Amino acid sequence: MQSLWLIFQLLFCLFFGFILARRLPQWLEKIAFKILPFFTYILLIAIAIEFSQTLQSMNSPTQILSNALILSLATSIGAFFCCYLLFKMIGYQPMQGKVSTDLLVGSLLNISYAFIALGCGYGLAELFNHWSYSLHVSTWNLLLVFMFLIGLDLAYSPLDRSWLNWKIMLVPFGCIIGSLLGAVTASLLINNINLKDLIMLSQGYGFYSMTGIVVTELKNSQLGSIALMNDLFREIFAILFMYLIGWRYPRSAISSAGATAMDVTLPMVKQACGNEFIPHAMVSGFILSLLAPIAVSILAAL
């Protein structure tokens, strides 16, 4: 029930922003559109603060982080290549183009900005901790504001029935199958977690605000910490894929982003892949966001 409430809040803020578009004063909309490109970095700073606080409460942080890193890398790559193979089977070719110097430099700069934001957030949390003050930042409330801004922006994007195209459904399907295969691959390197739990963790699809809570409640805090770190790392890998090769393999990059394609990485989809792939991101992120709490809850309860 808690997971469904979280999803409802996300969709409500998105819809609220969508219906308010063109009804707000023009000056206010201009401010919102100027803030939107930078809001991703604000979210990353907040996520890093949350990461720092979680790290302090871990019993064996090194092992937890290494397990999460292996699993997130395997599932991200699995989703990317599974989606690529699905579209290749139906005749789709990589997008035409070449890596220009400007595109390469721009991609590297965007990645560096993301890591700078993460570093700033982590350093800020550690600084306040040194002063014996616990810095509390609501990543969830920030995400709700972000969804509202995304809703405003989407109101100016072309919408048609192509949003329900069966081919678009291959993007989340590739993420689901690729994540499962990634979990199986990760089990060859991770010996202290059984395959069933790795599969459960893989089905969070980057929905870190939900997965860690559900896994902690239904399993234990150690697996809950791995779930949180795994999904945070999946976001980072999604950023890397989006900016480095999203221009050539946009559907695969969106698939690797998992549930975050609907919210956190959506501006990156627009920037790196183009507006025409926003439907892929929204449909894929929406489906995976609905599926993640159900899949994780069922697998955790088994």
The confidence score (pLDDT) of residue 286 equals 81
The confidence score (pLDDT) of residue 205 equals 92
The confidence score (pLDDT) of residue 44 equals 76
Q: How far apart are CA 44 and CA 23, in angstroms?
A: 30
Tens-of-pLDDT digits for all 302 residues of the chain? 555 676 677 778 878 888 888 888 888 888 888 888 788 788 778 877 877 776 666 667 788 889 999 999 999 999 999 999 999 998 887 766 555 566 556 656 766 887 788 889 889 888 888 787 777 777 778 878 887 887 887 777 655 666 678 889 999 999 999 999 999 999 999 998 999 999 999 999 987 767 777 787 778 778 888 888 898 889 888 878 887 888 788 999 999 999 888 877 777 787 778 777 888 898 898 889 878 888 888 888 77
Name the nearest CA neighbour of 265 among 245, 240, 229. 240
Q: How far apart are CA 6 and CA 133, in angstroms?
A: 28
Question: Residue 131 corresponds to which tokens in the numbers above?
Answer: 């002063």
CA dihedral 233, 234, 236, 237 (to 10 degrees): 120
Burial of residue 57, with CB atoms counted within 10 A of its CB: 0-12 exposed, 13-18 middle, 19 or more buried: exposed
Q: How far apart are CA 190 and CA 63, in angstroms?
A: 10
The confidence score (pLDDT) of residue 103 equals 55
Give the global pTM.
Answer: 0.72
Domain range list for the chain: 2-301
The confidence score (pLDDT) of residue 100 equals 52
Burial of residue 106, with CB atoms counted within 10 A of its CB: 0-12 exposed, 13-18 middle, 19 or more buried: middle
The confidence score (pLDDT) of residue 97 equals 54
C-alpha pair distances (Å), 142 with each of 32, 115, 138, 155, 238: 14, 19, 6, 20, 20
Question: Residue 172 corresponds to which tokens in the numbers above?
Answer: 């989340």
The confidence score (pLDDT) of residue 181 equals 97
Q: In the chain, where does DSSP find H-type helix?
A: 2-20, 26-56, 61-89, 101-130, 139-154, 170-186, 195-202, 208-218, 221-245, 250-257, 266-268, 278-301
